[in-house]
Structure 1
Amino acid sequence: MARRMLCITISLYCLFIAHAQIFDITTYGAKPGGADISQPLNRILRSACDSSTPSTILIPKGKFILKEAYLKGPCKAPHIALTNQGSVIALPEPTSVKKNNEWIMIQYVDHLTINGNGVYDGVGAKSWALNKEHCWNSTQCNQFPNNFGLHNLKHLTVRDITSKDAKSFHFIVSDAQNATFQNLKVTAPGNSPNTDGIHIGKSRQVTIMDSSFKTGDDCVSIGDDTKGVNITRISCGPGHGISVGSLGKYNDEKPVVGVWVTNSNLSNTMNGVRIKTWAYSQPNEASNMHFENIRMDNVGNPINIDQLYCPSGGCNMNMPSRVKLNKISFKGITGTSSTPVAVNLVCSSTFPCQGVEIGNIDLKFKGGAAQFVCSNARPAFSGKQNPKINCR
């Protein structure tokens, strides 16, 4: 009865599953603990794409070595599921991926599901060692393979999987429409450089929910030309926090519109919720961004707008950012800061932040009184304010 009711609720998905053609990689020559499965997996991906019926690629329980996988649509299949029930393990060498610099890359596919309770292990330690010298304070990291490159996809669902120890980012999502990430476990050591959990760019309507991120960089980062991102009920830490930006580096960037981060927890992260734009930036805009009901535990700069972002130096700090920020709210944010500055609103002197609302903030600094730094912004305040307001 429970299964029947579930299928009534998500009838289209159940219809796909009920009539799906199953492609089990072990029937195509892949063996647990055996040789690289790239050839059979890529062949199956192509066959599933070309099928006229819904298709499921099944990776059963066991450990499978994968050099790289690639699928480029469009596909005939009305729905494709990549269902991993085992552990898929990358080659450890940083340059092992030759074709696209994405360990698993999928492009131009509609109605794709990646699921199965399995693990994707990027085996990133050798890559991290090569990036530790300069990644922390520079954007010039070596571009090692991301675990997943998901590009030009419509109606994407990623759920119930673990992404582990990516050589670089865990998920890159670009030019996506209607994407949902649910019940993910993303893990890498806190000292692993450039291992962002999910980076979103040039996409529409992306939801991230009920997931855990432990990384060496941003748990979630949002790039330009992105509209309608909803992040809820996630845990983040260690890592660098949740970031919009950095924006304004390039002259062809497009606005970010509509970001909601709610009902989440950040713990032992370098930053909290952050909006960052380059000093002396190219023109751009970001608006309608809201951060609400978030718990901070030992977080650096829990609330942070930084329009003087310049991690590697060399910026003309006398030339203000030309990214306009508007309609931003921080509400119901509580907990502890690991740095004295718990609230940092450093906006552009050319384009001061507009429409900023701050309500019911209670952030403490264990080393003394928490600080509120504010320039080029005139927020509207409501409810409790700790630390005390200091705007000019």
Structure 2
Amino acid sequence: MASIAFVFKVLCVSFLFIFVASRPTIRPKMFNVQRHGSKPDGKTDNANVFTSIWSRACKRKNGSSKIYVPKGTFYLSGVEFVGPCKNPIEFVIDGTLLAPANPSDIKQDTWINFRYINNLSISGSGTLDGQGKQSWPLNDCHKNPNCPKLAMTMGFAFVNNSNIKDITSLNSKMGHFNFFSVHYFNITGVSITAPGDSPNTDGIKMGSCSNMHISNTNIGTGDDCIAILSGTTNLDISNVKCGPGHGISVGSLGKNKDEKAVKNLTVRDVIFNGTSDGIRIKTWESSASKILVSNFVYENIQMIDVGKPINIDQKYCPHPPCEHEQKGESHVQIQDLKLKNIYGTSKNKVAMNLQCSKSFPCKNVELIDINIKNNGLEDSSSIAVCENVDGSVSGKMVPQHCIN
């Protein structure tokens, strides 16, 4: 009887396996933009077709949706993809999405914008071509109050549990990728490119975001490779190549009221090549808000001919004279900062600048194995400059540290 029961059990398990294995897999509903009327001629405006397809994909209730952009050049004047959606959406771009060359032809802040969406996946071998060359000479807002508002390439607002993979962003008019109130988002394998002299073309910019991961990404642009703004927490950056550009920047912070803390940042296995800055934290003097910058780890960072490899600047003022200069020190508190295994070459003699606030000195700054030599025309020795810094030092230290 026992052997009969065993055979019966084996047969039941086998039939169950065959039944499960034979069930058809539910594939996502495919929306090929070209088959739905989009024209890959680089001239016809496909914005209405794209938004119509999005609406259909977003409203579909049974199973996921897949929007596919095949090879070819699809001109878009500007699009907004808005949720919430009934199902996960995969957006695969193998062709080129082409922005208007004339910046005034984009009637919104962001050329391609995603809002109020969960479970969005963007991938493909395609390119977002911002055609920014005509716009860059107009980017003079620091001296021209009537400057035109230029659009960023792609934006995400209130987008959660999502990702972007392998896409190329080329020649944005302003920033390439902008994130606001985005949570649990992965960026991997992305390529971001604009000339080193293209103004305000930040690679990845984020504010009020949490639990984001950026990895295996190449960024060369005319501003910050990555800009981390107010309210961003739990950010992990790894295996990123940055250059040209202004480095990975936290801030600027403290200029406006109601700014939020920035905390729990990890930057590891990153290469800065020919950038103006590498590791950078910038806060305004006489801050309008009192906020905390804390729990930062920078580890295994290579500097190749970087202007300011390590730069904490709590007297930030990009276009002097600044009205805050006579109003006192920064109220942004920087603390619990670890710099470990930072090595390479600096263009300038000052390889490490730690210029902290007198009113709120930097606390618990930990330096471990720093080796940055001067690669300029002067002798190869480099120096560190410190103001109002408390912390500890261990391991090899080039330049000689100046921490209390």
- Per-residue CA deviations over 1:334-359 (Å, capped at 9, x if unaligned) read 00011111000000000100111011
- The Cα RMSD (Å) is 1.7
Deviates more, 1:307-316 or 1:318-327: 307-316
User: What letter matches 2:256 in structure 1?
Assistant: Y
User: What letter matches 1:54 in structure 2?
Assistant: S
User: What letter matches 2:79 in structure 1?
Assistant: A
- Per-residue CA deviations over 1:106-149 (Å, capped at 9, x if unaligned) read 10000001111110000001110112x566x9999753111101
Give the drift of 1:379. Answer: 2.2
The answer as to whether partners of 1:292 and 1:330 remain within 8 angstroms in 2 is yes
Q: 1:37 aligns with which of 34, 38, 46?
A: 46
Q: 1:362 aligns with which of 362, 366, 371?
A: 371
Q: 2:83 aligns with which of 56, 73, 84?
A: 73
CA pair 230-140 structure 1, distance change in 2 beyond 3 A: farther
**Larger radius of gyration between Structure 1 and Structure 2:** 2
The answer as to whether partners of 1:141 and 1:194 remain within 8 angstroms in 2 is no
Residue 312 of structure 2 is matched in structure 1 by 305
- Give the 5 Å matches for 1:131-210: 131=139, 133=140, 142-210=148-216
Q: 2:109 aligns with which of 74, 92, 101?
A: 101
Q: 2:389 matched to 1:377? A: yes
The answer as to whether partners of 1:65 and 1:88 remain within 8 angstroms in 2 is yes
How many residue pairs get aligned? The number is 372
Q: State how far apart, in whole Å, the 2-side matches of 1:338 and 1:103 are.
A: 37
Give the unaligned 5+ runs of structure 1: 1-16
CA pair 170-141 structure 1, distance change in 2 beyond 3 A: farther
Give the unaligned 5+ runs of structure 2: 1-24
Residue 7 of structure 1 is matched in structure 2 by none
Identity of aligned residues (%): 37
Deviates more, 1:141-150 or 1:35-44: 141-150
Q: State how far apart, in whole Å, the 1-side matches of 2:126 and 2:161 are.
A: 21
SS at match of 1:238: coil
Q: State how far apart, in whole Å, the 2-side matches of 1:154 and 1:342 are.
A: 39
Residue 66 of structure 2 is matched in structure 1 by 56
SS at match of 1:117: coil
Deviates more, 1:281-290 or 1:309-318: 309-318
Residue 346 of structure 1 is matched in structure 2 by 355
Q: State how far apart, in whole Å, the 1-side matches of 2:53 and 2:384 are.
A: 56
User: What letter matches 2:266 in structure 1?
Assistant: W
The answer as to whether partners of 1:138 and 1:311 remain within 8 angstroms in 2 is no
The answer as to whether partners of 1:341 and 1:371 remain within 8 angstroms in 2 is yes
- Per-residue CA deviations over 1:249-283 (Å, capped at 9, x if unaligned) read 11110101111110010000011111111111121
CA pair 152-139 structure 1, distance change in 2 beyond 3 A: farther
CA pair 187-141 structure 1, distance change in 2 beyond 3 A: farther
The answer as to whether partners of 2:192 and 2:221 remain within 8 angstroms in 1 is yes
- Give the 5 Å matches for 1:227-238: 227-238=233-244
